[in-house]
């Protein structure tokens, strides 16, 4: 079986990659691939034959409309699953049982049963599962983590992201049932399940801790728009806080924006190229006992205040959308060298557990039980 023994492939070996799912998130991964040393796209798959034909012509990859056929033809070292989360379990099981390493986009699943099954099948087959936590590869986030670990702001006490924005109730667009099935977690692109899952992952990563208790409220797919929140308490005493509403209007003023140091999205969902002005940029705040950080993750800017006003901190690394290349480079290097993933299916399970616990806080879910 390919991928099972976890030995290095040798520095001259190419990691042959297949992609299942050619939707919007696939575009950024496809754009990232050409600058990843040691990687070669050899197969793509999507249920839409026209999309497959177009991408196959553009990339020179084999095209499939059936995932089992793509996996069955072999010649793959890593399969990237970029389909809606409700399909992840079925596809991970297919790939893992073929003995091929797998990359699974966030969120890892839409329920704990499927997420735990993904972890289990990867353990049983011995394949490596790389979980798609792109925020861990954003330069501003990585630099912030180093500052926190080195005690630059003292002991971290509070981490927060607030995204209350949008185009009003009439402009509210939830993700479809094909993305998040009716009755389960859902909402717009800036919801707890689709966006907040990034934040709960990096909050724990910034602290090197798992939360010990969670309260909150999350949206359900098919239900009206509303406000979501999550409060996570960590063993060190730190608190993680998320507050989202995508069915209103921002309160930001024109001079409160920032020039983008990288390409990405503002809180209103608008894509801004590098160098452009983001009027309502996304940011994460971290307050410590002797300082604070403001992390503009997509705008690739980091500011620290230790009592003398906010000072800009350098953020080495590939600016967005280069973090997709950085993430894939880490995966390819791990396969070539025979190591283990830096971000695993278990990390995806923890992140999903926290989000679902907030969404069903009235049921008293134990996210790690």
The CA distance from 356 to 79, in Å, is 27
User: What letter would DSSP give residue 107?
Assistant: S
Residue 250 and residue 171: Cα distance in Å, rounded?
Answer: 13
The confidence score (pLDDT) of residue 12 equals: 55
Q: Which residues of the chain have pLDDT under 70?
A: 1-12, 360-369
Distance CA 128, CA 101 (A): 5
State the pLDDT at residue 10.
Answer: 45
d(CA 235, CA 244) in angstroms, rounded, equals 25
Q: Is the dihedral of CA 74, 76, 79, 83 positive or negative?
A: negative
For 112-137, write each residue's pLDDT tens digit.
999 999 999 999 999 999 999 999 99
Task: Measure the CA–CA gap between 25 and 83, rounded to whole angstroms.
Answer: 9
Q: Which fold has domain 135-317+357-362?
A: Dihydrodipicolinate Reductase; domain 2 (3.30.360)
Cβ within 8 Å of residue 304, ≥6 positions away: 147, 152, 153, 291, 292, 293, 310, 311, 313
CA distances from residue 311 to 207, 291, 338 in whole angstroms, order as listed: 22, 11, 41
pLDDT score at 247: 96
Does the pTM surpass 0.85? The reply is yes
Specify whether the CB–CB gap between 304 and 287 falls below 8 A: no
Burial of 112 (0-12, 13-18, 19+ CB in 10 A): middle
Asked if 234 and 213 count as a contact pair (C-beta separation under 8 A), the reply is no
Domain locations in the chain? 15-133+323-338, 135-317+357-362
Would you state the pLDDT for residue 364?
Answer: 40
Return the beta strands (E) in the chain as ranges: 15-20, 39-45, 62-64, 78-81, 101-104, 129-131, 156-164, 213-217, 228-233, 239-245, 258-259, 264-265, 271-272, 277-278, 284-288, 292-296, 301-305, 311-313
Token pair listed for 103:
């990359």
| 135-317+357-362 and 15-133+323-338 share a CATH fold | no
DSSP tag of 337? H
What is the Cα–Cα distance from 199 to 19, expressed in whole angstroms? 25
Q: Residues with Cβ < 8 Å from 113, sequence gap 6 or more? A: none
pLDDT for res 274: 86
pLDDT of residue 278: 86
* Residues 34, 58 contacting (CB under 8 angstroms): no
Answer whether CATH 2.30.110.10 is correct for domain 15-133+323-338.
no
SS (H, E, C) 151-188: CCCCCEEEEEEEEECECCCCCCCCCCCCCCCCCCECCC
Q: How far is CA 99 from CA 3, 11, 17, 74, 302, in A?
A: 6, 21, 14, 10, 41
């Amino acid at each position: 079986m390919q991928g099972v023994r976890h030995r290095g492939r040798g520095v001259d070996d190419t990691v042959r990659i297949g992609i299942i799912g050619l939707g919007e998130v696939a575009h950024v991964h496809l754009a990232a691939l050409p600058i990843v040393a040691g990687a070669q796209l050899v197969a793509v798959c999507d249920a839409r034959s026209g999309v497959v034909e177009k991408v196959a012509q553009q990339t020179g990859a084999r095209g499939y409309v059936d995932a089992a056929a793509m996996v069955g033809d072999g010649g793959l070292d890593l399969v990237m699953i970029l389909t809606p989360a409700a399909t992840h379990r079925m596809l991970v099981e297919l790939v893992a049982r073929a003995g091929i390493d797998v990359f699974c986009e966030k969120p890892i699943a839409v329920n704990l049963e499927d997420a735990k099954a993904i972890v289990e099948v990867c353990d049983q087959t011995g394949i490596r599962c790389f979980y798609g936590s792109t925020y861990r590869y954003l330069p501003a986030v990585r630099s912030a983590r180093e500052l926190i670990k080195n005690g630059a702001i003292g002991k971290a006490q509070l981490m927060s992201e607030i995204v209350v924005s949008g185009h009003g109730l009439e402009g509210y667009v939830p993700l479809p049932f094909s993305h998040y099935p009716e009755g389960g977690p859902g909402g717009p692109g800036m919801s707890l399940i689709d966006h907040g899952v990034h934040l709960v992952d990096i909050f724990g990563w910034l602290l090197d801790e798992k939360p010990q208790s969670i309260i909150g409220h999350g949206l359900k797919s098919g239900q009206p728009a509303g406000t979501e929140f999550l409060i996570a308490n960590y063993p060190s005493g730190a608190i993680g806080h998320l507050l989202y509403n995508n069915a209103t209007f921002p309160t930001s003023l024109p001079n409160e924006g920032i020039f983008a140091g990288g390409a990405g999205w503002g809180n209103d969902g608008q894509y801004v190229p590098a160098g452009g002005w983001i009027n309502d940029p996304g940011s994460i705040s971290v307050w410590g006992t002797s300082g604070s950080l403001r992390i503009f993750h997509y705008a690739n800017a980091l500011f620290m205040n230790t009592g003398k006003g906010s000072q800009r901190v350098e953020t080495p690394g590939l600016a967005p959308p280069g973090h997709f290349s950085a993430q894939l480079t880490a995966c390819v290097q791990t396969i070539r060298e025979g190591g283990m993933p830096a971000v695993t299916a278990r990390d995806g399970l923890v992140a999903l557990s926290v989000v679902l616990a907030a969404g069903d806080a009235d049921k008293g879910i134990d996210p790690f039980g």
